Structure 1
Amino acid sequence: MSSSRAPRTAEVFDAAARDHGAAASLLWDPLGEEYVERVAPAHGERVLDACCGAGASAIAAGRAVGATGRVDAVDLAAGLVDLGRRRAVAEGLDHVRFHVDDVAGWSAARPYDLLLCGYGVFFLPDMDASARRLSGMLRPGGRFTVATWAEGALEEFGALLFRSLSAERPRLPEEEAERAEPPARRASRRIDTADALARWAAGLGLSDVRVHRIDRTVPLDRDNAWNLVLGSGFRAMVIDLDEEVRDRVRDRFLDALDAENVRALDAASLVVVGTV
């Protein structure tokens, strides 16, 4: 494994830090809190949050484990990590430590009780091998958990954004388009149903595997929809565009949301918990 987020992905999320506030309040923070609620960190536990971003789940876990616990939150996107670090300081969560580092090479003096990886496992190089390595950082009886998108989540939103971009980029032949699909998207589709996610976790050697569902929708309007693009992984679709082209894509996208009467973002998610 070469990186907890591929360098390109780290660049995208680092840039997204500049527009993270609106997306965090609408999407990431509520999802992070619901994720942590389902995996239930116990008071005093040691937690590793892999691909922590700006700390939506790390902050929630820090509140749960209390001052006698410990949360190490690790990500390569320095801008997001800085946001998380500032949030921890503001809340007085001295036991929540944010690190700009590659979780693929992360090590700790003691094993962890709980592993969090919220909406990041599919960005890891070789998802299965990366997940096995992370599970190896847990004590016997420790809990390995992942939050991921459920089947159909984000698809309508993403399809309209892709369509809005198509006028600015040449159409790829169908076979080339399939090969051009981001590896993270292919990986996420492998685990986007409860059955598939449970089988995947069991295949990692975990026991007592349980899958929880989070049903969440985010109301959309012309003021917040573009913020969600810029403050999320969707930013990768527009990061290379110059300002004039990006403005055209934004306007076309917002018009498409209106024309298709798309008033909500489907953010349905799955959470798997397994025991080492």
Structure 2
Amino acid sequence: MTSTGVGTVFDSAATEYAEVSPQLWDRIGEATVATAGVQAGERVLDVCCGAGASAVPAAKAAGPRGHVDAIDLAGELLAHGRRRAASQGLANVRFVQADATTWEDEPYDVVQCVHGVFFLPDMDAAVSRLAGLLRPGGRLAVTTWARGAMEGFGRLFAEAAARVRGTPTAPPSSRRSASRIDTEEELGAWLTGLGLRRATVARAPLHIPLDAGLAWRVALGSGFRGMLTGLDEPSVERVRTTFAHLLGERGMTELDATSLIAVGMRP
């Protein structure tokens, strides 16, 4: 999927993304900021920021003397983020529609990216470039799915879409990149290979009780929504009912959204 395609998918997912944020994205974002150790007065770049799940807690941690640049391609998600920051009186965060591969403002104390690096066209080159926006001694924080997390959910959703389409549904193009960094060892070694030092990886378990309604909102409010591209409304409705049936048939009552949070330091 191209950068433009990713932005389009997440623009269409904005409403559901915001709806599931308190149960899913916000909890992961807060864990990332805590693990990155954002301090008062620091300057932070939040890449693939979505609706502010990690940018808002980073702005709170950085305080009025700090600043957060939150960038994403999805304008609708950014609008949610701006409203959220304004409702909490946060004047130290700006949400900008921008491409992470060309963003040039620097230097930052922290660059963080929560469940976004695997959407970048060339993950290695893009993240290496982002690390270059850090001051010496600055921290890069990357959050990815742990191996097995979201996989059963994704397989059922793909099966539902395939039954409606009548053809197999290809996995998201980001899956190959994500699978390279879905264990503590692989993620830590990847950051070290990009030239970062003192790389540490923390596991953030998250298990969410799941019913058909929440499952559908999670599917629509995430990259899984791309599997519905090209389907008309009646077909999308058939995917929804098929997905609900499969969830009940297979006994999936919990969403495993366990993440890995890696932090490395620029020499």
Aligned pair partner of 2:154 in 155, 158, 172: 158
Q: What's the offset of the Cα at 1:201? A: 0.4
Q: TM-score, structure 1 length as denominator?
A: 0.93
Aligned pair partner of 1:114 in 110, 126, 146: 110
* SS at 1:56 equivalent: coil
CA RMSD of aligned residues (A): 1.4
1:40 pairs with 2:37: yes
Q: Which amino acid aligns with 2:65?
A: T
> What residue in structure 1 maps to residue 214 of structure 2?
224
CA distance in 2, matches of 1:222, 1:170: 22
CA distance in 1, matches of 2:74, 2:57: 20
1:139 pairs with 2:139: no
Provide, for residues 148-202 of structure 1, a one-character-per-residue CA deviation record: whole Å limited to 9, x for no partner: 0000010111111111112222435xxxx8xx54331100000000000011000
Taking the TM superposition and a 5 Å limit, the aligned residue runs for 1:257-268 are: 257-268=247-258
* SS at 1:152 equivalent: coil
- 2:32, 2:141 within 8 Å by CA — same for their partners in 1? no
Q: Structure 1: which 5+ residue stretches go unaligned?
A: none
Distance change >3 Å, CA 223–CA 181, structure 1 → 2: closer
* SS at 1:105 equivalent: coil
Kindly report structure 1 stretches of 4+ aligned residues shifted beyond 6 Å. Answer: none
Aligned pair partner of 1:198 in 178, 181, 188: 188
Q: Structure 2: which 5+ residue stretches go unaligned?
A: none
* SS at 1:202 equivalent: helix
Aligned pair partner of 1:72 in 58, 69, 72: 69
- 1:23, 1:232 within 8 Å by CA — same for their partners in 2? no
- 2:20, 2:221 within 8 Å by CA — same for their partners in 1? yes
> What residue in structure 2 maps to residue 26 of structure 1?
23
* SS at 1:168 equivalent: helix
Q: TM-score, structure 2 length as denominator?
A: 0.96
